[in-house]
């Protein structure tokens, strides 16, 4: 079975595997208004590295939820090592006590779960947040209701679990889990945009990614198929950045 699109891109040398790239991560940090004194949970691809980045840029303490020991990140700075740690677990069954975090940041995770797992993960996020705690998500979304052809095309391109929703669907999922005060912005899928690639990978590494794609006919065919889908149908494909709050009571 073919690996999912982010894994395929990683095999070409891409390191930023979240759909909105570094721009969306930075925007979500700002939307959550993370600051020193906050204790934040980070979930998603490269969560250990993202948690370190959050701690370095906001002075918040962070805990990353990772799948196994290999995803933990070693940091030499003793002060930063104390502020950013990692625990192994699953989003739908977190190894944290109730009301532990002031904020939670989830990227490229919920849209890749079947509905039941996604809803269970949202309930877990609600549980581990303090009353008044903030949730931020960075996930694939449909900019407009997809046609059956676009749904089939995304499934063919992704080759793995990908279940984006329209904005209203994401709002309904968040509110259905018990969150309130939902707000959102939309961003572009940056996997294949020139600006997104260069911002995420730098000019030299972007050139290497393209070179790697062209080295093999099968790689080139898959890269071209994905590039065309996200470029030609960008009016359908997007990224949602949303925040929500756990009610005080």
Which of the pair, 104 or 197, is modelled with greater confidence? 104
Kindly list the structural domains of the chain, giving each domain's residue range(s) and its CATH number in brackets, ordered by start.
18-191+237-243 (3.40.50.150)
Q: Evaluate if residue 77 carries a pLDDT over 80.
A: no
pLDDT of residue 249: 77
Q: Which two tokens stand for residue 195?
A: 């600006």
CA neighbor of 27 nearest in space, from 133, 128, 105: 105
What pTM was estimated for this model as a whole?
Answer: 0.93
CA distances (Å), 190 to each of 26, 45, 234, in order? 14, 16, 11
Cα distance between residue 219 and residue 80, in whole Å:
39
Q: Is 115 exposed, middle or buried (0-12, 13-18, 19+ CB in 10 A)?
A: exposed
Detail the DSSP E strand segments found in the chain: 39-43, 61-66, 84-88, 101-107, 129-142, 165-166, 180-187, 237-245
Cα distance between residue 138 and residue 163, in whole Å:
13
Q: Is 95 exposed, middle or buried (0-12, 13-18, 19+ CB in 10 A)?
A: exposed
Read off the pLDDT of residues 210-220 as tens digits, 9 standing for 90 and up: 999 999 999 99
Cα distance between residue 167 and residue 185, in whole Å:
9
Neighbour count for residue 158 (Cβ, 10 Å): 20
Q: Evaluate if residue 81 carries a pLDDT over 80.
A: no
The answer for residues whose C-beta is within 8 angstroms of residue 59's C-beta and 6 or more apart is 35, 36, 37, 83
Read off the pLDDT of residues 218-228 as tens digits, 9 standing for 90 and up: 999 999 999 99
Give the phi and the psi of residue 25 in degrees, each rounded to 5.
-60, -45
Arithmetic mean of pLDDT, 95-112: 97
Q: Evaluate if residue 74 carries a pLDDT over 70.
A: no
pLDDT of residue 71: 76
Read off the pLDDT of residues 148-180 as tens digits, 9 standing for 90 and up: 999 999 999 999 999 999 999 999 999 999 999
């Amino acid at each position: 079975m073919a690996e999912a699109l982010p894994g395929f891109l990683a095999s070409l040398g891409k390191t930023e595997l979240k759909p909105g790239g570094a721009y969306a991560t930075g925007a979500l940090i700002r939307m959550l208004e993370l600051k020193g004194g906050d204790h934040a949970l980070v979930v998603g691809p490269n969560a250990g590295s993202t948690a370190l980045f959050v701690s370095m840029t906001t002075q918040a303490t962070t805990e990353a939820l990772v799948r196994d020991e290999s995803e933990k990140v070693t940091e030499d700075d003793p002060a930063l090592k104390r502020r950013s740690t990692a625990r192994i677990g699953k989003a739908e069954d977190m190894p944290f006590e109730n009301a532990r975090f002031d904020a939670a940041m989830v990227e490229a995770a919920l849209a890749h779960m079947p509905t039941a797992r996604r809803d269970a993960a949202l309930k877990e996020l609600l549980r581990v947040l303090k009353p008044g705690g903030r949730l931020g998500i960075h996930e694939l979304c449909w900019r407009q209701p997809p046609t059956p052809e676009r749904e089939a095309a995304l499934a063919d391109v992704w080759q793995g679990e990908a279940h984006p929703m329209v904005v209203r669907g994401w709002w309904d999922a968040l509110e259905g889990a018990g969150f309130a005060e939902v707000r959102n912005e939309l961003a572009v899928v940056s996997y294949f945009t020139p600006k997104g690639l260069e911002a995420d990978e730098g000019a030299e590494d972007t050139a290497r990614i393209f070179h790697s794609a062209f080295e093999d006919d099968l790689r080139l065919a898959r890269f071209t198929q994905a590039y065309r889908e996200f470029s030609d149908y960008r009016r359908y494909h997007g990224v949602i950045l949303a925040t929500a709050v756990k009610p005080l009571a």
